[in-house]
Chain A
Amino acid sequence: MPRKIRVLIAKPGLDGHDRGAKVVARALRDAGMEVIYTGLRQSPEDIVEAAIQEDVDAIGLSCLSGAHMTLFPDVVKLLRKRRAGDIVVAGGGIIPEEDVPRLKRAGIKEVFGPGTPLRDIVAFFEKAGKGA
């Protein structure tokens, strides 16, 4: 049986708009992955701890409140501190294009803006799961 890809979908910070995160979680499940959805109001510590315990291949972060520039890099920093920097991190939500290069430099592998087709997101996590 081919190995299952495990993904953590998380909503860091206070933002409660979870429509996108839930839709992505379902889409990943429909693509055969095991998805752990953390729910709302997660701190970077919560997210990293969960990612380690669940031994996920990748993390998807969703934020629509504009706090992504602080919260997303914090997750990456903490992962590296815990020697789990091989876990791939992607982000989505309301993120101006201008912020994307900075986020990538901070270690976010990919940023999925509004309107990204689900199949692109699924393809990304499939690649991440294969250790790419």
Chain B
Amino acid sequence: MPSRKAPSRRSRDSVRQLVDDLLAGDKRAAAKLISLIEDDEPEAMEALARIHPHTGRAHIVGFTGPPGVGKSSLINRLVRTYRTQGKKVGVVAVDPTSPYTGGAVLGDRIRMADTGVDAGVFIRSMATRGHAGGLALATFDAVRVLDALGMDVVFVETVGAGQSEVEIATRAHTTVVVEMPMTGDAVQTMKAGILEIGDVYVVNKVDLGNEDVLIANLKFQLEPRDGWTPPVVRTAATEGRGIDDLAEVLETHRAFLDSSGVLQRREVARARLEILENVQRQLSQQVRGLSRLGTTFERLAREVVERRIDPHTAAQRLFARTTSRRRPA
């Protein structure tokens, strides 16, 4: 499909060169590849194909939790701790795109200001660009780029709203759910399903006090899954407290994933999911791309509104139309 975009600064470099540079540790190449993928440039698929064999080394840790709970500050501190251990760290931080303007102010990087210049750190801010849930479509492909760049661990920070925890849990190796104690007397409720999704639970902002009830609640309700009982860690990110404990827990989980075979199982499940998603996406693109589709599509839509056909049957007909076009004449 020809690109409808004007030739951009970004696609001028050849993909192969970019990937070679990436594998040699070039950050600019990494940044450009991420943009290529984010923008869904025609070379994106080739880029991902070349990168994929070089991934699988990095420990991918996802952070989810409500806005304002301190994910960015926590990640900032963890980056520092990992750096003192000589590890290389990548961060992908996601912020929501405004549904009205299509723009976004990506504000997570600012909390990592003191770690950004370190050669062993790479931080990339991404906007959701209309993707529902707490991540961008390209988020985990961006993680792959950082994996291939040589990062030992990649932190992914979600927007914290919507279904971000589900997305994270199906793709990250370790999912960290961050909460904070509520002030006042109201009973603190947590999102349905949140207790089933995390590998590690962090109660942040314990400097504000009031955390005992929440922690007791969590410990009481969290159950072992696949042989791992999610621990609860107390932190006060802005004061740097509890960070070493958290880092240790993350390492322990990583070791557990390797030794227990759970990692392998999850990776296969993840691959299945991704393949299916890609099938959906590619199909959708094809269906939309057929030029004469416009009339069929519009006609079907009208028929649905006029109650002459239901939406599921309409989809079937559309699908039949498009696949029939692909049969050789």
Q: How far is the CA of A25 from the CA of B101 in the complex (A)?
A: 13
Stretch at the interface among A62-70, A78-86, A103-111, A112-120: A78-86
Residues in A with CB closer than 8 Å to B7 are: 131
A46 interface residue (CB < 8 Å to B)? yes
Once A37-B105, A37-B107 are accepted as A-B contacts, the answer to whether A130 and B6 lie under 8 Å apart by CB is: yes
A29 interface residue (CB < 8 Å to B)? yes
B117 interface residue (CB < 8 Å to A)? yes
CB-contact partner of B10 in A36, A41, A53, A55, under 8 A: A55
A32 and B103 contact, CB distance less than 8 A: yes
A53 and B6 contact, CB distance less than 8 A: no
Residues in A with CB closer than 8 Å to B122 are: 53
Residues in B with CB closer than 8 Å to A29 are: 98, 101, 103-105
Once A35-B103, A36-B125 are accepted as A-B contacts, the answer to whether A131 and B9 lie under 8 Å apart by CB is: yes
Query: Interface residue count for A (Cβ, 8 Å)?
Result: 37
Q: Which residue of B lies closest to A5 (CB)?
A: B103
Once A3-B39, A39-B113 are accepted as A-B contacts, the answer to whether A52 and B31 lie under 8 Å apart by CB is: yes
CB-contact partner of B127 in A31, A34, A55, under 8 A: A34
Give the interface SS of chain A, mostly helix, strand, loop or mixed.
Answer: loop
B8 interface residue (CB < 8 Å to A)? yes
Mark out the residues of chain B between 15 and 40 whose CB falls within 8 Å of any chain A CB in the assembled complex.
27-28, 30-32, 34-35, 38-40
A3 and B103 contact, CB distance less than 8 A: no
Per-position binary interface string of chain B over residues 88-132, scored 1 when its CB falls under 8 Å from any chain A CB and 0 otherwise: 000000000110011111110110010011000011110101000
CB-contact partner of A131 in B6, B35, B98, under 8 A: B6
Q: Tell me how far the C-beta of A118 lies from the nearest C-beta in chain B, rounded to whole angstroms.
A: 13
Q: How far is the CA of A42 from the CA of B7 in the complex (A)?
A: 32
Residues in B with CB closer than 8 Å to A25 are: 105
A49 interface residue (CB < 8 Å to B)? yes
A97 interface residue (CB < 8 Å to B)? no
A98 interface residue (CB < 8 Å to B)? no
Q: Tell me how far the C-beta of B145 lies from the nearest C-beta in chain A, rounded to whole angstroms.
A: 11
Residues in B with CB closer than 8 Å to A6 are: 35
Once A29-B98, A36-B125, A38-B113 are accepted as A-B contacts, the answer to whether A55 and B32 lie under 8 Å apart by CB is: yes
> Looking at A25, A50, A84, which has the most chain B CB atoms within 10 Å of its CB?
A50
22 A-B residue pairs with CB within 8 Å:
A1-B40, A4-B39, A29-B103, A31-B101, A34-B104, A35-B106, A36-B125, A37-B110, A46-B113, A46-B116, A49-B116, A49-B117, A50-B116, A52-B27, A52-B31, A53-B116, A54-B106, A55-B32, A55-B34, A83-B28, A131-B7, A131-B8
A4-B39, A29-B98, A29-B101 given; name 20 further pairs at CB < 8 Å: A1-B129, A2-B5, A3-B5, A29-B104, A29-B105, A30-B98, A31-B101, A32-B102, A34-B103, A36-B105, A36-B109, A50-B123, A53-B116, A54-B106, A55-B10, A55-B34, A57-B9, A131-B7, A131-B8, A131-B9
Binding site for B on A (CB under 8 A): 1-4, 6, 25-26, 28-39, 41-43, 45-46, 49-50, 52-55, 57, 82-84, 86, 130-131
